[in-house]
Structure 1
Amino acid sequence: MFWWGTELIRVLPQRMGMVIGEGAVFIFLLGVGAYFIHASIKKEDKLHERQQNFLLSVTHELKSPLAAIKLSLQTIVKRDLERQMQTSLLNNSLKDIERLDDLVENMLLATKIESRTYSFPKEEFDFSELVTKITDRLQIHSCGNEQLINTNIQEGLNLVGDKFALSSVVTNLVENAVKYSGPCAEVAVELCQIGGKAVLTVSDKGLGIPDEEKMLIFDKFYRIGDENVRKSKGTGLGLFIVKEVLQNHDADISVKDNVPQGAIFEVTFN
C-alpha cells in the first residue's frame, strides 16, 4: 500500500493530499478492526477459561459429597455401630445428597433459562414459609450449638411467582453468604414488607465484594478472585440464576457493603 501511494505521488504530485488522506483513513479503520478482533479473542479466551474452571468446579462439587456418602455407608456396613452413630452418619449422608440435588437443580435450571425453554409457571404461595424452610435446611451447627443463620422473617407474605425458581434464588443467596463467610461467622436473613413490597435481605460478614465486581458477579461462570488460589467452592451459576429469575419476576437486586465487613444482597419484589 505504501509503495502504491509513493508511486502515485511521484507520478501525480498534485494528488498527494488525497493519497495521504485515504491512507490515513485506511490505517485508522485497520487499527479499529484489529482492536475489536483482539478484544473479541480476549473475551472468548476468558469465557473458555471460565468454562474450564466450571467443569473443574463441578467435578469437585460432585466428588466431595459422593466420597462422604460412600465413606459413611461403608462405615455403617463394615462396623457394628451404635444406633445413635448410625443415625448421625445417615443424617450427614442426607445433607450431602441435598447438596448434590441443589447442584443438579442449579445446572438444569441454568441450562433451561439460557436456552429459553423454561416457562416460569407462576402461582400464589407463602413466600415467608418458603424462606423459613430453606434457612432451616441450610442451618449449620458446626460451632457447638451456635446458630449461624439468624432469621427475622415476617409471616404471611405471599407472592405470585414460580415457587421452584424463587426457592433456587433464596437457596443460592443464603448458600453464598455461608460459603464466603468465615468459620462460625453470622449470616442474617430478613424478610419484611416495605411500602407494600416484599424485601428479602441476606447479609454476611465475609471479605465483601469489590465495587468493580459488584455487577460482574451475576455473569455466568464468573467467580470473585483468582481461580488458582480460590478456596471457596462453587460453579459460578448461582448468581446468574438469581439475576435471570428475578428479572422474570420484575424484581430488583442490589449489592451493598456490610459494616464493618461483608456484603448485603437486597431483593425487592415490585
Structure 2
Amino acid sequence: MFKKKRLAVAITVFWILLIYIITGLAWWFIALQDANREITAHQLEQLKPDDAQYALRRQAILSEEKKKTARNIGEGSTYLGLILLGAIFVYREVRRTIRLQLQQQNFMMAVTHELKTPIAVTKLNLETMLKHRLDETRQQKMIQAALQETNRLDTLATNILVASQLEGEYVQSKESLDLSAIVSHSMQDFRHRFPERHWEQRIEPEVVILGDALLLQLLINNLIENALKYSPKEGVVTVSLERRGRSISLAVADQGQGIPDDEKKKIFDKFYRTGQEATRRTKGTGLGLYLCRKIAEDHDATLKVADNSPVGSIFTVIF
C-alpha cells in the first residue's frame, strides 16, 4: 500500500510540473506575441501617410510581423514537442522503475515463503521420524513428502540461477536432441512425484530438435509445474508433442480457472503474478513463465497461451 501511495504521489507531482512548464511556455508565447504587436503598432505610427513609400513600408512592417509570428509558433511548437516527448519518456521510465520495484518486493516475499515452507515441512518430517517409531507406510509417506519439498527447493534454486545467467553471459550448448525422450522423461518424473494427479500424454516419437538440453528440460518442467499449480486435483494435465509440417508443437493443457485476456501477455513478464501476494494461495515466484518465454525465444520458438475447452489454459511452444 505504501509503494502504491508513492507511485500515486510521484505521478501527481509529475503532472503538476508538466502543467507548470506548458503554462510557462504558453505565457512566453503570449508575451512574445504581445510584444510583436506593440512593435508593429509603434512602427506603423511612425509612418507618414504622405510618404511616397508609405504603402511599401507598411507592407514590409506587416510582413515582418507575420514572419516573427511564424517564428514564435515554430519555436513554441518545437519546444512543446520536445517537452512532451521528454515527459512521455520520463513518465514511462518512472512507472516502469516503480512497478519493477513492486514486482521485486513481491518476488522477495514469494521467495521467502517458498524457501521457508519446504524447509519447515522437511524438518518436521525428519524430526517426527527420529522421535517416533512409525510404521513403514507412514515413513514412506513422510519421505515422499520430504522429497517433493526438496524438489521444490531445487526447482526454485535452478529458476533463480538460470534467470540470472540468461540475462548475463550464459553460453548455450546447442546440440541435436531427442525432444520426445526429454518430454517423456519429464512426464515419468512428474507421474512418480504426483501419483494422485491425472495425466494424459500424446508424445510423437523421435522428434529431434537443435537446442540446449538443460534449458529445454527447464522449459518443460516449468510448464508442467504451472499446470499442476493452477489445476484442481481432479483435473487432467495434458502434455502433447507433435510435428506440424516444418514446425514442432509442444503443448501443456490444464483444467484450471483459466487466464483473463488482459493478463495473457503480462504473465510472461519477470516477477509478474496475478492477484495480491498476501492473499495468493498458489505457490510460485513469478519466474517460471518468464523463463519459459526467454528459453523459447533463445531457441527461435514462440510461446503463447490460449483458453482450454471447457475450462483451463493451453501453453504452446512452436519450434
TM-score (structure 1 length as normaliser): 0.88
Alignment partner, residue 175 of structure 2: 123
Alignment partner, residue 94 of structure 2: 41
Question: Offset of 1:171 from its aligned partner?
Answer: 0.4
Gaps spanning 5+ residues in structure 1: where? none
Larger helix share, 1 or 2: 2
2:161 is aligned with 1:108 = yes
Question: Offset of 1:120 from its aligned partner?
Answer: 1.2
% identical aligned pairs: 38
Alignment partner, residue 186 of structure 2: 134
The 10-residue stretch of structure 1 (158-167 or 204-213) with the greater mean CA deviation from structure 2? 204-213
1:110 touches 1:241 (CA, 8 Å); kept in 2? yes
Alignment partner, residue 154 of structure 1: 204
1:150 touches 1:189 (CA, 8 Å); kept in 2? yes
Distance 1:157 1:192 in 2: 8
1:141 touches 1:148 (CA, 8 Å); kept in 2? no
The one of 221, 230, 235 equivalent to 1:185 is 235
Distance 2:314 2:73 in 1: 57
Gap change, CA 1:199 and 1:221, over 3 Å in 2:
same
Alignment partner, residue 307 of structure 2: 257
The one of 36, 59, 64 equivalent to 1:9 is 36
1:177 touches 1:203 (CA, 8 Å); kept in 2? yes
Alignment partner, residue 261 of structure 2: 211
Distance 1:176 1:258 in 2: 15
Q: Would you identify which runs of 4 or more consecutive aligned residues in structure 1 move more than 6 Å?
A: none
Gap change, CA 1:140 and 1:208, over 3 Å in 2:
farther
What do you get for the CA RMSD once the two structures are aligned?
2.4
Report the 3-state secondary structure (helix = DSSP H, G, I; strand = E; otherwise coil) of the residue aligned with 2:281: coil
Q: Rg larger in 1 or in 2?
A: 2
Report the 3-state secondary structure (helix = DSSP H, G, I; strand = E; otherwise coil) of the residue aligned with 1:139: helix
Letter in 2 for 1:162: D
2:148 touches 2:193 (CA, 8 Å); kept in 1? no
Q: State how 1:17-96 maps to structure 2 within 5 Å.
A: 18-96=71-149
1:9 touches 1:19 (CA, 8 Å); kept in 2? no
1:140 touches 1:147 (CA, 8 Å); kept in 2? no
The 10-residue stretch of structure 1 (28-37 or 244-253) with the greater mean CA deviation from structure 2? 28-37
| Higher RCO, Cα 8 Å, sep 6+ | 1
The 10-residue stretch of structure 1 (160-169 or 78-87) with the greater mean CA deviation from structure 2? 78-87
The 10-residue stretch of structure 1 (106-115 or 216-225) with the greater mean CA deviation from structure 2? 216-225
Gap change, CA 1:58 and 1:24, over 3 Å in 2:
same
Gap change, CA 1:81 and 1:138, over 3 Å in 2:
same
Report the 3-state secondary structure (helix = DSSP H, G, I; strand = E; otherwise coil) of the residue aligned with 1:265: strand
The 10-residue stretch of structure 1 (23-32 or 62-71) with the greater mean CA deviation from structure 2? 23-32
Gaps spanning 5+ residues in structure 2: where? 1-23, 41-64
Distance 1:244 1:10 in 2: 62
Letter in 1 for 2:108: L
2:197 touches 2:233 (CA, 8 Å); kept in 1? no
Distance 2:246 2:84 in 1: 54
Distance 2:172 2:160 in 1: 16
The Cα offsets for residues 19-78 of structure 1, whole Å up to 9 and x where unpaired, read as: 355334433432332232122111111111111111111111111111100100110111
Gap change, CA 1:7 and 1:140, over 3 Å in 2:
farther
Gap change, CA 1:39 and 1:198, over 3 Å in 2:
closer
2:183 touches 2:220 (CA, 8 Å); kept in 1? yes
Distance 1:259 1:71 in 2: 41
Gap change, CA 1:147 and 1:35, over 3 Å in 2:
closer
